[in-house]
Structures are given as C-alpha cells and as structure tokens.
Amino acid sequence: MLKKTPIWCPGCGLYLLNSGLANTLTRLGWNKSNTVIISGIGCSGRTSGYYDLDSIHTTHGRAIPVAEGIKVGNPDLNVIVFSGDGDLLGIGGNHLLHASHRGLNINVICNRNDIYGMTGGQASPTTPLDWNTKTYNEQIPKYAIDSFNIFRDLPKFYYARTSTSNPANLFKILRDGLSFNGFTYIEVLSPCVTEIGRLQHKDNVQENIEYYKNFITDKQIKKDPLYLEFVEVRNES
Amino acid sequence: MQILNGNQILVQSIINLGGTFFSGYPITPASTIMNEWVRFSKKNNKLKFIQSEDELSAINMAIGASLAGEISFTATSGPGISLMQESIGWAFAIEAPIVIVNSMRRGPSTGMPTIGSQGDILQTNFGSHGDYEIPVFYPSSLENIPFYTYQAFVTAEKLRTPVVLLLDGYLSGLQKNINTKKIMNIPLVKKSLEPLSKNEKTRYFTGLVTNEDGDVRSYSVDDYEKWLNHRLQKIVPLKKNNYYQYIDNNSDTLVISFGINEILCKDLSKKNINVLIINQLFPIMDGVVDIINKSKNVFVCEINKGQYISILSALIKDKELKFIEIKDIDVPIDNILRKINAG
C-alpha cells in the first residue's frame, strides 16, 4: 500500500500505526477498487497521500463530513478516516459528536499523540493537565477530553483505545474494528518524540512507555501491567 | 400550470436534471429548499439527503458525495456562505464539481433574515483566501430559474469547479401560476469525473499545491504557477457566453442590473432607456463589456452599496459608471428616472 517515503520523524508512532493499517487492509481484502481513505490536517493528516487508494486530504477538521457524504453517495465503499487528536476532537469535535450519533458504517482512526505536532508543540484537546507544552497556561487550565463520553449512550458502535506500544493488540483491534458493521472509532496513543518527548523529561523511550502503561481514563479500563487495552462494542439495533 | 415559488422551481429543476444528493442546514430563506427536497425524496429512492449539524459539514458532505459519483448541491444564505468559504476554496483546489445555492438576504451578520438583497455578490469570488475564480449564475425571473440551474450544474460537471447559483430572498419567495413545461423539459446532466474507486489510477485529492507528478513536496514557484493557472484558465471560455438580456432602444442611457430587478428594468425600458440584465456575473462576459463600451451614460442598479459596479469599473477605462442603490423592490419607477436624469 505505501508507495512513498513518509515525512514523519524517526520514532513517530505513525509508522507502526500505518504498518498495522496496511497489513489489515491486505488481510481484509480492501484495495483500491473498494476503499477510500480520508485524512485531515497535521502530521497524521499526511497519511492519505501514502496509500495506493483513492485518497482525500481535507481542510482542518472536516474529514468526517466528507467521509459521511462519500458513504451516503456510494454505500458499497469502505470508508476510512485517519486523523489526529487535534483534528478530530478539536476543530472537528462537533463532527465526531454528530457522526457517531448518525451511526453510518465508517471507520475513524485517531492517532492520538496529545499534541499539535506539525505546528510545533501546542497543547491539544487531549493533552493531560500536568504536561508541559509550548502553550501551557497556568491561569486557564483545560481538562483533557475523553472521547468515550461521546459514545456512552449510543446503542451501536465499536470503540477501542490502545497504543503503539502494543502491536499484537493494535493489529487485532484494527481488524475487528474495520470489519465491524457500524460506526468504528479506534484511538491509538502514539508518541510524538519531537514535540512531546523533549518537553516533558520524557525524552527516553522507557519513560514514554511507562506513561502509556499507567494511563487511566475510565473505571472500566483493564489495567494490565504488560498491555494497554480498552474495547467497548455495542451492537443493539 | 401550477402555483410555485422560486425555491420550489429550483428544487424541481434540480431533480429533473438528475441531481441526486443534497445536504443542508436550515436558514431563512433557504430552508424551504430543504423541505421541498425531502418531500420529493420520500417518494423517490434515488434522491439522497443528509441534514448536517452545521454549514461547514453541509458543504463537505456535498463535496464528498460529488466525488463518490452523485450530482450534489447545498443551499444556504449569507451567514452560511461565510462559514463555507474555506471549503469553497478547497473545492476549487481539488477541482470538485459542486453547486452552492445562495438565497441572499440582508446582511451583514444576522441582518434582516426575511428581506432579500444582492449583498453577497463580491463574496462569491472574493470570500475565500488566495487567488481563485468560480462561475456565478443569477436567474432574474421565475421563468429562467430552470435554465440557469441547468447551466450551473452542467458547468460544474464539465469544468470540475464549484459554481455559485445566486437567488435573492425575493425570488425565493415569489409565487406565480407558472407553466411547468420548462421545468420538466430540462436535459440530464452527466458526471464527468470518475467516481471514487472506479478510476484506473488512484488519485490524491488535496488542497496542497502539487507538482505534475502529484507530489506535494514541491517548493518551486513554477509548480505553483502551473497548478494555479490550470485552475484559473478553465473558466475563461465562459466569457464567450451570451447569458444576458439586452433591450436596445437606441438611447444614450444604459441601465444595468440583475436578479429581481428585471421587473423594474422592463418598466424602465418602456421609457426609452437601454436595459441590460446580466445572468452570468462571473466571469464577466465579453458581450457585456462591448455593450458598455458602446453606451454613453451607464448606470448600475443594485440592492447593495455598490458591489458589481466595482468589478465592472475595473474593466471600463474610458467612462465612469454611475451607481443607483435600489432600496427596496417596490420603489416607484419615477425615483429611478429622477436619478438617471440628474446624471
């Protein structure tokens, strides 16, 4: 699937995530005759240019509406939205809220690195309070958004949160999520070593892994010392 | 014969020419377009509809559906067009065929939602950032709404460009007992862009500037020139169109207008004044420039503070065009004649 050398920094979580996605597409038989990939703006948003599929690079935050229009226009297409946490939960947060409630069969993959990487390290909607970013402001702190809250009351969805530190789990979640017949949202915690690592004293790999292992967002999460996994699937019609 | 208003004629024309997808957000005076579309889509499975959560997603859904193979459009008014500007520029960059209907109301900001105006003319071509140009069609009566609706869609598909179809709040609500033959006899519009996943080679639709190989990592000004010129030159042939109505009374005075003002202009033409009603606002037609150059005293009447006259004045070097503001559509014709005679 990948035909050009991506621009991402060495050590970026996007490399593993895209390897997993490419692998999954091959296993599921999704190729250029039946699949479309759409991405937003940012480092994660450059993804769509590297696949041998018809791909669309939208304006900031509008990947999900374009995907919904495509799905209603041609319901036989497999539609994948691939973007970052700033694009999907910040400027595009409203679209995620409404698209999850519309429940069309599209797949949204969020590369969650908790930062606006391409513009140089500003805080994103999911950046934890205690992180130091270029726009950290003590006067007006902002709590991090937990995207599961959008899905809490819906009867049908596939929601998963995992990390790039956990490839076997990640690849299985991608397979299950993409083949789910309903709205799929997969959130993948992934490191941005250039912008986060060196600003937090987390500039070595071990501390980054420790951070992801101890990440707690919900009481239902299974805190396993070796793996990070949280999957919630509901399929009542 | 049927009693129909402008919005209903618009929707029925679009259905008859093969339009299949509409996404919209309610706004006066364009909400009835959505209601009418839904009324027809309940009886016709081919018509698809999404009510979006805001105008930003309305236009992006329509662009997505257009790329996937539908003939799609969205309809809104001034405040919605302001929100859609970034996506209109994006549609210009990726060469997506889409029609955006703007039923103009008084602005700026919330303004007067139920009173029509012609205040969004400059916004059609100067609202988004950067250098771009898109075609703009503006019917001037209920009878020519089907023709210019067809022109908007066929231009969008043939040239792969976003197109703005203007109406004003007056035309949207104007009702008449109308002969529906013109609405029914409208030709079908076909898609020219291969739908997604049906093309032989995979395509990358991006707002970034690409070089000839489709690579976004190009930093040379030459690549930018080629990319932009390809998109700007596409609509130059439209300058040869004759989408205007010229009533020549051999007078020294010429009155130019568009939209709902056609009624006023037809009355003026009975007082031995030349009248020009323009139905394609952008790109500016060569025929219009020729007519203005041939006339001596030229007045432009608009329901705004002087928008289209500023565009025409940039092209006419030898004389000064004079502006007459139409404050409301039931202005007595003597007021206009007085301003014309005063020069």
pLDDT digits (tens, 9 = 90+) for B309-341: 999 999 998 999 999 999 988 888 888 899 888
At B41-50, the pLDDT tens digits run: 999 999 999 9
Position A231 scores a pLDDT of: 80
Q: Please give the backbone phi and psi of residue B186, each rounded to the nearest 5 degrees, phi first.
A: -95, 135
At B56-75, the pLDDT tens digits run: 999 999 999 999 999 999 99
Cβ of A69 and B54 within 8 Å?
no
Residue A161 contacts B, CB cutoff 8 Å: no
Residue A123 contacts B, CB cutoff 8 Å: no
* Rg (alpha carbons) of chain A, rounded to whole number: 17
Q: Where are the beta strands (DSSP E) in chain A?
A: 35-39, 54-57, 78-84, 107-112, 115-116, 122-123, 156-163, 184-189, 222-223, 228-235
Residues 6+ apart with CB under 8 A from B209: B216, B218, B223, B224, B227, B228
Residue A103 has pLDDT above 70, yes or no: yes
Position A1 scores a pLDDT of: 66
**Structural contact between residues B296 and B277, judged by C-beta atoms closer than 8 angstroms:** no
Burial code (b: 16+ CB inside 10 Å, e: under 16) for A137-172 equals: eeeeeeebbebbebbeeeebbbbbbbbbbbeebbbb
Gap between the Cα atoms of B15 and B11, Å rounded:
6
The token pair at B225 is 């020139």
Residue B257 has pLDDT above 60, yes or no: yes
Position B2 scores a pLDDT of: 87
Q: How many CB pairs under 8 A join A and B?
A: 121
**Structural contact between residues A24 and A171, judged by C-beta atoms closer than 8 angstroms:** yes
At A59-97, the pLDDT tens digits run: 999 999 999 999 999 999 999 999 999 999 999 999 999
Residue A32 contacts B, CB cutoff 8 Å: yes
The token pair at A96 is 């995620």
**What DSSP state is assigned to residue A51?**
B
Q: Rounded to a whole number, what is the distance in Å from the CA of B82 to chain A's nearest CA?
A: 16
Residue B112 has pLDDT above 90, yes or no: yes
Position B181 scores a pLDDT of: 84
**What DSSP state is assigned to residue B275?**
E
At B216-239, the pLDDT tens digits run: 877 889 999 999 999 999 999 999
Question: Is residue A233 helix, strand or coil?
Answer: strand
Position A214 scores a pLDDT of: 57
Gap between the Cα atoms of A211 and A198, Å rounded:
14
Q: Chain A contacts of B54, Cβ < 8 Å? A: 94
Cβ of B61 and A35 within 8 Å?
no
- What's the ipTM? 0.93
Residues 6+ apart with CB under 8 A from B330: none
Partner B, chain A 73-92, Cβ-Cβ below 8 Å: 73-74, 77
Nearest-by-Cβ selection for B64 from A53, A57, A69: A69
Q: Rounded to a whole number, what is the distance in Å from the CA of A114 to chain B's nearest CA?
A: 25
Q: What is the DSSP string of B98-131?
A: EEEEEEEEE-STT-EEEEE--TTHHHHHHSSSSS
Q: What is the mean pLDDT of residues A169-182?
A: 92
C-alpha closest to that of B125 among B283, B236, B238: B283
Cβ of A73 and B68 within 8 Å?
yes
pTM over cut 0.95 = no
* Other Cβ atoms within 10 Å of A103 Cβ, number: 14
Position A208 scores a pLDDT of: 62
**Structural contact between residues A6 and A50, judged by C-beta atoms closer than 8 angstroms:** yes
Position B323 scores a pLDDT of: 95
Q: What is the mean pLDDT of residues A41-69?
A: 93
Query: A43-52, A93-102, B207-216 — which one is most confidently predicted on average?
Result: A93-102
Gap between the Cα atoms of B285 and B290, Å rounded:
9
Residues 6+ apart with CB under 8 A from A222: A229, A230
Residue A206 has pLDDT above 80, yes or no: no
Cβ of B64 and A77 within 8 Å?
no
Weakest-pLDDT range from A164-168, B60-64, B89-93:
A164-168
Partner B, chain A 175-194, Cβ-Cβ below 8 Å: none
At B126-174, the pLDDT tens digits run: 999 999 999 999 999 999 999 999 999 999 999 999 999 999 999 999 9
Q: How confident is the model at residue B255 (pLDDT cuts 50, 70, 90)?
A: very high
The tokens 């009418």 sit on which residue?
B36
Share of chain A above pLDDT 90, in %: 51
Cβ of B65 and A32 within 8 Å?
no
Gap between the Cα atoms of B141 and B6, Å rounded:
8
At B4-19, the pLDDT tens digits run: 999 999 999 999 999 9
* Other Cβ atoms within 10 Å of A84 Cβ, number: 31
Question: Is residue A185 helix, strand or coil?
Answer: strand
What average pLDDT is seen over chain A?
84
Q: What is the mean pLDDT of residues B288-311?
A: 94
Stated length of chain A: 237
Position A2 scores a pLDDT of: 65
Position A210 scores a pLDDT of: 64
Q: How confident is the model at residue B288 (pLDDT cuts 50, 70, 90)?
A: very high
Residues 6+ apart with CB under 8 A from A165: A189, A209, A212, A213, A228
Residue of chain B minimizing CA distance to A94: B53
Residue A34 contacts B, CB cutoff 8 Å: yes
Print the SS3 string covering B51-79.
ECCCHHHHHHHHHHHHHCCCCEEEEECHH
Q: Which amino acid is at B40?
A: F
**Structural contact between residues B21 and B65, judged by C-beta atoms closer than 8 angstroms:** yes
Cβ of B202 and A53 within 8 Å?
yes
Gap between the Cα atoms of B190 and A37, Å rounded:
25
Cβ of A66 and B68 within 8 Å?
no
What average pLDDT is seen over chain B?
93
Residues 6+ apart with CB under 8 A from B80: B25, B27, B30, B55, B58
Residue A218 has pLDDT above 50, yes or no: no
Position A237 scores a pLDDT of: 66
Gap between the Cα atoms of A96 and B57, Å rounded:
11
Is residue A90 packed enough to be buried (19+ CB in 10 Å), middle (13-18) or exposed (0-12)? middle
* Rg (alpha carbons) of chain B, rounded to whole number: 20
Structure-model confidence comparison of residues B22 and A230, the more confident one: B22
C-alpha closest to that of A81 among A69, A66, A94: A66
**Structural contact between residues B293 and B316, judged by C-beta atoms closer than 8 angstroms:** yes
Position A196 scores a pLDDT of: 65
Half-sphere exposure of B195 (CA within 13 A, CB side): 20
Q: Rounded to a whole number, what is the distance in Å from the CA of B342 to chain A's nearest CA?
A: 51
